[in-house]
Amino acid sequence: GHALWLRYPPLAEQAQGTPAPVTGLVAAAGTPTQAATRQELLRGLGGLQGTAPPLADAVGRPGALLVGTPDSTPALAQLRPALEGLGREGYLIRSVEIDGHAATAIVANDDIGALYGAFHYLRLLQTGEPVDALDLRSAPEVRLRVLNHWDNLDRHVERGYAGQSIWDWHRLPGWVDPRYTDYARANASIGINGTVLNNVNANAMVLTPMYLEKVAALAEVFRPWGIRVYLSARFSAPVEIGGLETADPLDPAVRRWWRAKADEIYARIPDFGGFLVKANSEGQPGPQDYGRSHADGANMLAEALAPHDGIAMWRAFVYSDEEPDDRAKQAYTEFVPHDGEFADNVLVQVKNGAIDFQPREPFHPLFGAMPQTPLMMEFQVTKEYLGFATHLVYLGPMWEEVLRADTHAEGEGSTVAKVIDGSLHGHALTGIAGVANIGTDRNWSGSHFDQANWYAYGRLAWDPHASARDIAGEWVRMTFSRDPDFVGPVVDMMMDSHQAAVDYMTPLGLHHLMGRGHHYGPGPWVEGGPRADWTSVYFHRATRDGIGFDRTASGSDAVSQYAPPVAREFGDLARVPEDFLLWFHHVPWDHPARSGRPLWDELVHRYDRGVAAVREMRATWAGLAGQVDAERHAQVAAFLAIQAQEAQWWRDASIAYFQTFAQRPLPEGHAPPP
């Protein structure tokens, strides 16, 4: 488990024959990134081929692999013209002839591109792709591809289900755990190039010299792997650690303090990435405390970072202290009026949906609605509302669904992916963030299958137009086995797992029905407490006459935040995708579903379908015993047994609760608990 998808088992033990071995490796090691690239290829090929190829200075016989830039490796100079347009991080992999010998070239404009190319080449071998006639070209579609760690300085990880934080602050900088290098390798292998080390519910202490020294030690480890370090900045830091009276973003002393703080950080970490900020949300301090806007707050930090080419990532997950008529509308309401006011080095970071990482949400209405502001996507890799690390839920299809959703902002085809990659509104600064699922557990992510979510996040960050199914296929081959009899059923199981969870937790557009606070297990009955929108009843609105949140013009009118064609579709009971029915509409219990069933029956049917799907996942996995090592097989099987039990718990609890409103009998065919 600890090797993740970088296991490099001997290809000879695999089903489909082996490619001709690499006979020699031409790879410079004049820079730390070059050394890392060479080392990874020796390690990867050593494992896959059985022995590492000899290092060579020149191509002396057929079958050499050359990796580098035209400058590091003169034999690659002939490929220089083909590198145009690939930027720093892109690369080519080509079958070429050098000095009369067939060879493979991995070439890039910069060392980091060559490292990414090396990982791609190894992935081809790991996944059983042919490598004898290559002509590949790849460059990332998104510039900043970052992980957000919600890691506190005491090593507790907010919404972390994989042990403690891997950042051992107590022993840093004196002890630099080798695990940090493993982390960097794994991230580089999927193209992640930034990491925000600390929780967005931030402790200002991380900005003090004592911690910055530790942060600098981590940055040192990550640098060769192309990963920059960022920090979550607490907005009130000037008061808490700066001794100022205020954190008002328009106060000159406050601005001076942040400029000096940025200078101090860059003196230690010259390639520091910048700040991520959660402000005026869930009790966090922010510019609104001083009557200022999100743009005022973001621009103050942007100004401090700009001389160093740093970036301010300002989150749009906001909700104010007042009770909202509909929380889904708040981010749009607070941010859209400020479109055009944000500084050039600000990215506004928006969760995929408007509520909060629910099992399924329609895309956030901010996407497409702020043409003058680069918007970053925020996905949650850790499964806060999706059964933690215990339930097997592959998030690829969910992310793909959001990225492919059409905002219609500039006419048909204005997908969320095009907002994120900057192409829709012509932004060069682009980014995507994933809330990490990484911790001290031996398997890194709390379960074997949650490693796939980390992997898929990185791959989709590189190319938001990629296919979740292809990514699952790669991951299964690299992590478990290349045997098609194993890969096929496991990929199918992963692809169906998201819909299964939606069905047994929150079918038909229901949302936020989890247990209060911890968000694990059913709690549709949750009511009362400090805020209406911290209850379940606020969201499902079930009564004797029906269920669902009316977000059409007759209700909160949240639909009007979408572009007109989308608003019309979501707002029309006849056209709304059934998966979002109760997200946008309050309907009677006998409302006819598309299946012809009355709504109540359809709801029960979906809960049953979810439970049945998990049973099938269990059976699939049980049938694969012997095709993967017993240790991993047993843990996955045990987790699936828990999931099967809990899917049933979700179903039975939810149905029993909603039946008190629906006052209808359980439909025929409803599977009773066995």
Structure tokens at 464: 């938001």
Smallest separation, CB 254 to ligand GCW (Å) = 23
- Tell me how far the alpha carbon of residue 406 is from its chain's centroid: 20
Strand locations in 164-292 (E): 194-196, 228-232, 274-277
Among 151, 248, 326, 384, the one annotated catalytic:
384
Cα–Cα distance between 190 and 192 in angstroms, integer? 6
Closest distance between ligand GCW and the C-beta of residue 232, in Å? 9
> x-or-dash pattern for ligand GCW, window 52-91, by CB under 6 A?
----------------------------------------
**Nearest CB to ligand GCW, comparing residues 384 and 401:** 384
**By the rule CB under 6 A, 357 interacts with ligand GCW:** yes
Residues 6+ apart with CB under 8 A from 448: 1, 479, 632, 635, 636
Residues 6+ apart with CB under 8 A from 326: 549, 551, 555, 556, 558
For ligand GCW, the closer of residues 263 and 282 by Cβ is: 282
Q: How far apart are CA 216 and CA 265, in angstroms?
A: 9
Look up tokens 């992510």; give the residue. Answer: 445
- Helices 209-222, 252-268: inter-axial angle, 10-degree rounding: 40
Q: What are phi and psi of 450, to 5 degrees?
A: -70, -20
Active site residue 384: yes
Nearer residue to ligand GCW within complex by CB, 148 or 497: 148
* Greatest C-alpha distance within the chain: 81
Q: Which of 415, 424, 309 is nearest to 373 (CA)?
A: 424
Contact between 200 and ligand GCW (CB under 6 A)?
yes
Minimum CB–partner distance for residue 460 and ligand GCW (Å): 20
Least separation in angstroms between CB 458 and ligand GCW: 20
Check if the beta carbon of residue 569 is closer than 8 Å to that of residue 359.
no
Instruction: Tell me if 660 sits within 8 A of 472, measured CB to CB.
Output: no
Q: How far is the CB of 533 from ligand GCW (least distance, A)?
A: 12
Closer to ligand GCW by CB, 248 or 356: give it.
356
Q: CA–CA separation, 331 vs 164, rounded Å? A: 31
Which is the catalytic residue, given 89, 111, 296, 356? 356
| Cα distance between residue 276 and residue 348, in whole Å | 10
CB 452 within 8 A of CB 394: yes
Considering 263, 282, 323, 325, which one is annotated as catalytic? Answer: 282
Q: What is the CA radius of gyration of the chain?
A: 26
User: Does 201 help bind ligand GCW (rule: CB under 6 A)?
Assistant: yes
Q: What is the nearest approach in angstroms of ligand GCW to the Cβ of residue 284?
A: 8
| Cα dihedral across residues 284, 199, 499, 407: positive or negative | positive
- Give the closest residue to 583 by CA, choosing from 609, 610, 547, 608: 547
Binding mask 636-665 for ligand GCW (x = CB under 6 A): ------------------------------
Which helix (H) or strand (E) segment holds residue 312: the answer is strand 311-315
Cα separation of 152 and 434, whole Å?
Answer: 17
CB of 60 to ligand GCW, least distance (A): 56
Q: Are 305 and 253 in contact (CB under 8 A)?
A: no
Q: Min. distance of Cβ 605 from ligand GCW in angstroms?
A: 30
Minimum separation from the CB atom of position 252 to ligand GCW (A): 30
Here's the x/- map for ligand GCW, 611-640, by CB under 6 A: it reads as ------------------------------
Using the Cα atoms of residue 430, residue 435, residue 437 and residue 438 in order, give the sign of their dihedral. Answer: positive
Q: Quickly count: other Cβ atoms within 10 Å of residue 57's Cβ.
A: 10
Q: Tell me, residue by residue from 383 to 422, as one string, x for binding to ligand GCW by CB under 6 A and - for no binding.
A: -x--------------------------------------
Contact criterion met (CB below 8 Å) for 374 and 431: yes
**Among the listed residues 119, 222, 317, 367, the single contact to ligand GCW using CB under 6 A:** 317
The nearer residue to ligand GCW, 317 or 562, going by C-beta atoms, is 317
Contact letters for ligand GCW, residues 121-160 (x by CB under 6 A): -----------------------------x-------xx-
DSSP H helical ranges for 364-444: 396-404, 416-420
Q: With respect to ligand GCW, which residue has the nearer C-beta, 117 or 160?
A: 160
The amino acid sitting at 542 is: A
Residue number, 319 or 589, with CB nearest to ligand GCW? 319
Q: Is 85 left (phi over 0), alpha (psi -120 to 50) or beta?
A: left
Report d(CA 417, CA 436) in Å as an integer: 21
CB contact at 8 A, 450 and 170: no
Which residue among 228, 255, 261, 278 contacts ligand GCW (CB under 6 A)?
Answer: 278
Residue nearest to ligand GCW (CB): 356
- Say how many residues touch ligand GCW, by CB under 6 A: 11
183 binds ligand GCW (CB under 6 A): no
Whether residue 356 lies in the annotated active site? yes
User: How many residues appear in the chain?
Assistant: 674
Kindly state whether residue 520 participates in binding ligand GCW, applying the rule CB under 6 A. no
We find the least distance from the C-beta atom of residue 384 to ligand GCW, in angstroms, to be 6
Shortest CA distance to 499 belongs to which of 617, 375, 335, 384? Answer: 617
CB nearer to ligand GCW: pick between 331 and 628: 331
Nearer to ligand GCW, 224 or 434 (CB): 434
Q: Which of residues 337-356 bind ligand GCW (CB under 6 A)?
A: 356
Distance between CA atoms of 606 and 654, rounded to whole angstroms?
12
Shortest spacing between CB 289 and ligand GCW, in angstroms: 17
Reading the block at residue 35, the tokens are 């050394």
Strands in 162-261 per DSSP E: 194-196, 228-232
Is 129 among the residues known to form the active site? no
Binding mask 4-43 for ligand GCW (x = CB under 6 A): ----------------------------------------
Least Å distance, CB 521 to ligand GCW, is 15
Query: In the complex with ligand GCW, which residue's Cβ is closer, 201 or 246?
Result: 201
Q: Which is nearer to ligand GCW, 326 or 384 (CB)?
A: 384
Cis? peptide before 522, omega within 30° of 0: no
Please give the positions annotated as active site.
Answer: 282, 356, 384
Binding site for ligand GCW (CB under 6 A): 150, 158-159, 200-201, 278, 282, 317, 356-357, 384
